[in-house]
Amino acid sequence: MIQAHVLSGDAGFLKRIRSGVFSGSVHSLFDRTINLHCREKEELFTIACVELDNGPNTLVTDRKRFQDLGIAVGDPVFVRDGELFIGQALALSWQQAKRWECKLPAYPVTDQKLRANVAVMKEYVAAHGKPGGLKKASSPVNAFEAEVSSLLGARTSQLYQSLALGRWSEACELAIGLVGLGPGLTPSGDDYLAGLFSVYHLPNAPCCLPYPFFEKFARETGQRTNEISYMMIKKAAVGHVRESIVSLLQAAIEGTAEEVIRSLDKVLSIGSSSGTDMTMGLISGVELQLETGGNVCLSKS
């Protein structure tokens, strides 16, 4: 049995295991993450290696990797004697773990700095973002990749226009149509939406969406993508996103150009093109706030 320590974690996840109310099984295993299915809550929770950032339903440990530990999909997960056991291979202690909560920064009273920083982000993504998802590759691997990239561009553009016009019912259908579209464990359409939604949940954001938008979105997308990606967009739909996205929003709102680029580099390093796709969604969200901030983004339809 390997012993490891939780360094930090989602406050709700820590509260759950501290109360002893957590049991389930290993859902999936990767080099840097272990996903757990929680029987009590019917949600996925994640055990992450030390290199990853905090996030919803996530515990960050002092482990560098999780491969070759003897853990298998379906292994039981349970709390006992102050430790979280994953099969018969790994025991996690959490007594010294730091609590993390997703606290999005407030939208600024004046937007000059935000406008300038969004311009910095767009230029940086154009130069350093990873292609293959929303950012078109200069030389697509094949015709299918080129078609998917074009489809992503068209659908995100349609969604942007619907949101700009305040047609939330139409926009919700378009957002649902993006789910599951694109390459990756978390498809590009899902990543884009996670970034977009984070902006709409900023406290004091001038442009908002009604509760039924997110309620319908969460209700109708569960079968359109894989469980891991669904958990990401389900949480984003209530304003819960990973720490690196929060830090990027904070830098965009009040930081210098250098601080924005440092935060942006961390997001762009996520996955293959996931970080780039999230950033493009976040940029779209900010631009919508800047363009339509004087109006309430609610549809009459």
pLDDT of residue 144: 72
Helix axes 257-268, 243-254, angle to 10 degrees: 160
Give the angle subtended at the CA of 205 by the CAs of 167 and 115, to the nearest 5°: 100
Q: Residue 88: what pLDDT?
A: 92
Average pLDDT, the chain: 93
DSSP type of residue 65: -
Average pLDDT over residues 210-217: 93
Rama region for 239: left / alpha / beta (φ>0; ψ in -120 to 50; rest): left
Q: Alpha carbon 170 to chain centroid distance? A: 23
CB 77 within 8 A of CB 24: yes
Average pLDDT rounded to a whole number, residues 11-23: 94
Higher-scoring residue by pLDDT: 295, 271: 271
Long-range contacts, 159-163 (Cβ 8 Å, 24+): 160/284, 160/288, 163/209, 163/288, 163/292, 163/297
pLDDT at residue 296 greater than cutoff 90: no
Give the mean pLDDT of 160-178. Answer: 95
- Residue 47, pLDDT > 60, answer yes
pTM assigned to the model? 0.93
For 57-88, how does the pLDDT look when each residue is reduced to its tens digit (9 = 90+)? 999 999 999 988 999 999 999 999 999 999 99
Q: What is the pLDDT at residue 232?
A: 97
What pLDDT is attached to residue 72? 95
- How confident is residue 216, by pLDDT bands cut at 50, 70 and 90? very high
In terms of Cβ atoms closer than 10 Å to its own Cβ (0-12, 13-18, 19+), residue 249 is buried
Interval 21-35 mean pLDDT: 96
On the question of pLDDT at 141 being above 90, the answer is: no
- Residue 19 pLDDT more than 90? yes
Mean pLDDT of 198-212: 93
Mean pLDDT computed over 165-184? 94
Q: Return the domain boundaries, the chain.
A: 2-100, 112-292
As a whole number, mean pLDDT of residues 123-133 equals 92
State mean pLDDT over 141-154.
82
pLDDT at 135: 86
Q: Is 93 exposed, middle or buried (0-12, 13-18, 19+ CB in 10 A)?
A: middle
